[in-house]
Structure 1
Amino acid sequence: MKKRYLIPIIVIGLSFVAWLMFGGNANDNVQLTTTPKKGEFVVDVTTTGELRAKNSVEILGPQGGRDIRLFNLTIQRLIPEGTVVQKGDFVAELDRSEITGRLQDAMLELQQAQSQVTQVSLDSSLTLSQARDNLINLEYALEERQIAVDQSQYESPAVQRQAEIDLDKARRQLAQERKNYQTRVQQAEAQMFEVETDLKEEQSEVEKVRSLMQEFTVYAPANGMVIYRRQRNGTKIAQGSEISAWDPVVAELPDFSVMESVTYVNEVDVQKVNRDQEVEIELDAIKGKSMTGMVTSVANIGEQRSGSNSKVYEVIVEIAESDSVLRPAMTTSNRIIVDRLPDAMYIPLETIHVQDSTSFVFKQSGLSTEMQEVELGLMNQNEAVVHRGLTLDDVIYMSLPDDTAGIERIYLEEEITSN
């Protein structure tokens, strides 16, 4: 009975020893190989994007903040994003504390301007009243001098002459005071115009602030779904966020009939991307949902995005199809088709080795290995097109052979071209 089990055990043990001696290191000498493939070859750039409507109606906050030195406006209350609103519905409320202070300052300036108008009016009335009394007195004095001249005809020539001189002085003084009175009237009118102009400016400032305060309650300008705008740091506007007086957009009402995917391409790949290139688009939220699009815009200036160490360039892709499932902020996978060859022979990049600016592959030649020069064409992230040097039947190595000593190098012959 023991012998019955002993023989299989010995056989298994010997097999294990043989595997250790001859098969244990066999994988170390295995060279992975492949053959060239033929078919459609595509050069592409793959990026992640986010949907947005191509056209939309902006929901604006107060637009005159800069006129009253309000540069940042804080959002106090918002309706939830995605709310479907009708024209005139409430959307947001902004903090009024700062503009209330501006209104109080403007009211104080208005009161001071009104007081200044009253003061100038009283001063002018008093000054002109005194000037008019002075004119009346001078007219009486002139009349008295005329009487003195009339009475001096019976006096000596010297007395007559003195009376005439006094009459002439009285006449000239009255004439001068009448001119002065006209000047004082013009001065009073100028002063009144100045203070009344200041008053109108202060009244206009108060009206401007009051009108702007009404815009701190934001209403929908049209029907649609409310989508809040992203800020510079990438986060969406929310309660407590600030909007700039230079760009007071709170939200948008997108038009879903034409959608875009906004994506960012790194500075290496952006050289390949151009307008009118075809794009294959998939929705991350809906598996199997694919669409087509076209590149409509490539930014000329790069930007530093949060989470990225290199510069990226904004690329906008317009989606060709219209679908009710498309919503802003959905994530998309965009495959930008840079170039496409319908029928090409290509090999993996791992099989290509460059020496002295010449591309080679290692291929099987019977029982030996050859180092074959190849002429390459388009390349994508994984493969390269081969124009010359290989056939579809060639077997090439995926990695550098362990021993390359003595391997024959085969170079391509120069092509003969004719004009």
Structure 2
Amino acid sequence: MKNKRIIIISSVLVGCLLVYFLLMGSSGSDETSIIVDVEKGEFIVEVAVTGELEAMNSVKITAPLNLRNHRVYDVTVQRIIPEGTVVNKGDFVAMLDQSDLNNRIQDRQLELQEEEAQYEQTQLDTTLQMREERDKLVNLRYEVQQAQLTLDQSQYEPPATIRQNEIALEKAQRTLEQAEEALKIRQQQNVAKMRAAATDVFKDRRELEAMQNVSKEMRIVAPESGMVIYTKNWDGRPIKEGSQVSIWRGGVVAELPDLSEMNSVTYVNEVDIRKIKTGQTVRIGLDAFPDKKLTGEVTKVANVGMQRPNSDAKVFEVMIKVNEVDGTMRPGMTTSNTIITNQFEDVVFVPLEALHNFGDSVSFVFVSDGINYRRQEVKVGHTNADAAIIELGLDDSDRVYLSMPSNETKLSSISLLEELEGKR
């Protein structure tokens, strides 16, 4: 009886050991593999990008745009008040470097002095010239009178003498007429010369006055009341002391934003931009306030790509209207934008890590059958950053491996989908 009991216990132990080693043999090599359930439900396709808040409307604070009329196209910010300062209309905002403008003012002053000297010289020359012409005319009139007197006194002289005196009188009269005509022409010429000289002086005076007026505008004041926000230069960096402001680009130094309506400006790469359309919903977060959750809507998508500073990749500007605005939000704050490009209900999906490819045409997953597994072809639909929709090949009762099983080479065949025959 005792021996029988020992035999039974030994048989049970051997059986347990056999079951243990069978289980270890089939799964021991995959003890690190992770198996997850296939999910079914709502699936959201998103594009996550970083943006920056800006006011939808703002008043520009600019350098004097008339600088370009005086061939000054870039100007340096010499001094500027701290960003975020609240100012009233007329308050000081910035001082611009006047070196280039002052040099041009000095040049114009010298030119004006030369033009004024030239005007005075022209005036003296024409006065002297006209006096000489009038004196000459007086002398010619005397000559005509003398010739007339000589003719009158020769009435008893021989005909030849009389004729000679008549010719002398005619010649004197003709010379006088020519001199009178020449005087008129000379007078017109001198008037034109004086007018031209006066015009040059007037033009230089006007330009000098305009330059001096622009010089006064180099001290920039606030056109309205509000909070001063620095604008960004062509390279994306905020304007600061020492920055160059381009007059050709509008000469904007700072802005007074309307904080009641705000956008988040972001840039999307050329791969994801095809997914972005106006009207799409956006989830917005603020780096400065991690707990604040906002919503928005895509209002504008650029048609033409651009190259951002320090980057070779092409990106497209996307404008997102922020639906909720409060007093803590400021232009320039960094936003995290999640653009919802598509949304599906009641679909089957798996993590991206579960997907594998055979060649270029077959996508498959490792489906767990309890102890064993099989390779199952699947038809993949839309994807997001974490998962992919499975249109054919799985249902929500299946479980799949997140990675390739270590003994995967023992299983060489893939269960192909009949629905995809001839379509791969």
| Shorter-chain TM-score above 0.5 | yes
Structure 1 residue corresponding to 2:110, chosen from 103, 108, 111 = 108
Q: Is the 8 A contact 1:370 1:407 kept in 2?
A: no
Question: How far apart, in 2, do the equivalents of 1:406 and 1:290 lie?
Answer: 48
Question: How far apart, in 2, do the equivalents of 1:386 and 1:261 lie?
Answer: 34
**Is 1:398 equivalent to 2:402 in the alignment?**
yes
Question: How far apart, in 2, do the equivalents of 1:35 and 1:126 lie?
Answer: 111
**Is 1:387 equivalent to 2:402 in the alignment?**
no
| Cα distance, 1:186–1:382 mapped onto 2, change above 3 Å | same
Q: Which moved more, 1:97-106 or 1:381-390?
A: 97-106
The residue aligned with 1:60 is 62
Count of aligned positions: 396
- CA positional deviation for 1:233: 2.8
**Is 1:314 equivalent to 2:317 in the alignment?**
yes
Question: How far apart, in 2, do the equivalents of 1:400 and 1:154 lie?
Answer: 147
Question: How far apart, in 1, do the equivalents of 2:42 and 2:280 lie?
Answer: 17
Q: Is the 8 A contact 1:361 1:372 kept in 2?
A: yes
- CA positional deviation for 1:306: 4.2
Structure 2 residue corresponding to 1:340, chosen from 338, 343, 363 = 343
Please provide the CA RMSD for this pair: 2.3
Question: How far apart, in 1, do the equivalents of 2:312 and 2:377 lie?
Answer: 38
The residue aligned with 1:93 is 95
- CA positional deviation for 1:414: 3.1
Unmatched tracts of structure 1, length 5 or more: 1-17
Question: How far apart, in 1, do the equivalents of 2:50 and 2:75 lie?
Answer: 33
Alignment TM-score, normalising by the size of structure 2:
0.88
- CA positional deviation for 1:29: 4.7
The residue aligned with 1:413 is 418
Residues 261-287 of structure 1, C-alpha deviations (whole Å, 9 max, x = no match): 112222222222222221110111112
The residue aligned with 2:375 is 371
Q: Which moved more, 1:81-90 or 1:297-306?
A: 297-306
- CA positional deviation for 1:135: 1.1
The residue aligned with 1:359 is 363
The residue aligned with 1:268 is 271
Question: How far apart, in 2, do the equivalents of 1:32 and 1:228 lie?
Answer: 52
SS of equivalent residue, structure 2 residue 419: coil
SS of equivalent residue, structure 1 residue 204: helix
Mapping for residues 9-408 of structure 1, pairs under 5 Å: 26=28, 29-246=31-248, 247-306=250-309, 308-355=311-358, 356-365=360-369, 367-401=371-405, 402-408=407-413
| Cα distance, 1:158–1:309 mapped onto 2, change above 3 Å | closer
- CA positional deviation for 1:316: 1.6
Residues 302-341 of structure 1, C-alpha deviations (whole Å, 9 max, x = no match): 3333454523322221111232221111111100111111
Percent identical residues:
45
SS of equivalent residue, structure 2 residue 154: helix
